[in-house]
Structure 1
Amino acid sequence: MISCIDFCAEVVAGSAAWLGRGLSCVCAQSREDESRQSFDLTLAQEGCLLKLQHRLDIAYDSSVPEHQESLRALWKAAFPEEELHGLITEQWKEMGWQGKDPSTDFRGGGYISLENLLYFARNFPESFQDLLRKQEGDRSMWEYPFAVAGVNITFMLIQMLDLEAVKPRTLVGATFLKFLTDNESAFDLLYCIAFKLMDHQWLAMRASYMDFNAVMKATRHQLERELLEENITRLEDLPSYKLLTR
Structure 2
Amino acid sequence: MQCINKLKMIVFNLWSALQWYLRPFIKWFLRKTTQLCELQRICYGDKAGSERTRNVEKSLMLSRTRDVREIVSHLDNLVSERRFSPPIFREILDPSIAIILRIKKINPKLHPSFVGSFRRCLEQIWCYRSLLERVEELRRTQFDSNNDEHEEKLLLLWSLLVPDVELEARVTKQWQHIGFQGDDPKTDFRGMGLLGLENLIFFATEYPQVSSHVLSHSLHPKYGYTFAVVGINITSMAYYLLKDGSAKTYMFNAKQYLPNISLFHRFYCYLFYEFDKMWIESKPQNIMEFSVIYKKFENAVRTELADPASVFRINVEVDNI
What is the TM-score with the length of structure 1 in the denominator?
0.70
Q: Is 1:83 aligned to 2:166, yes or no?
A: yes
Rg larger in 1 or in 2? 2
**How far does residue 226 in structure 1 lie from its aligned partner after superposition?**
2.6
The answer to whether 1:158 aligns with 2:239 is yes
Higher relative contact order (CA 8 A, sep 6+): 1
* Matched AA of 1:229: D
> Would you say 1:241 and 2:314 are equivalent positions?
yes
Give the C-alpha shift of residue 73 in structure 1. 0.4
Correspondent of 1:203 among 269, 280, 295? 280
The aligned amino acid for 1:212 is F
TM-score, normalised to structure 2, is 0.55
- Which of these residues, 240, 258, 275, is aligned with residue 182 of structure 1? 258
Question: CA 1:155 to 1:99, structure 2 compared with 1: closer, same or farther past 3 Å?
Answer: same
Distance 1:90 1:123 in 2: 27
Deviation at 1:100, TM superposition (A): 0.6
Which SS does the other structure have where 2:229 is aligned? helix
Q: For each residue in 1:43-63, what CA deviation from the matched residue of structure 2 results, as whole angstroms up to 9, or x when unmatched? A: 333223222222222111111
Question: How far 1:109 sits from its partner (Å)?
Answer: 2.1
Distance 2:280 2:153 in 1: 30
- Confirm or deny that 1:191 pairs with 2:268: yes
Structure 1 residue runs of 5 or longer lacking an equivalent are 1-32
Higher share of residues assigned helix: 2
Say if 1:135 and 1:53 are closer, same or farther in 2 by CA, change over 3 A.
closer
The aligned counterpart of 2:303 is 225
Whether 1:54 and 2:137 are equivalent positions in the alignment is: yes
Task: Give the Cα–Cα distance (whole angstroms) in 1 for the partners of residues 190 and 177 of structure 2.
Answer: 20
Shift in alpha-carbon separation, 1:45–1:78, aligned structure 2, 3 A: closer
**Seq. identity, %:** 29
Asked whether the equivalents of residues 62 and 103 of structure 1 are also in contact (C-alpha less than 8 Å), the reply is yes
Q: Choose 195-204 or 172-181, whichever is displaced more.
A: 172-181
Alpha-carbon RMSD: 3.0
1:12-63: per-residue Cα shift (whole Å, max 9, x none)?
Answer: xxxxxxxxxxxxxxxxxxxxx999x996474333223222222222111111
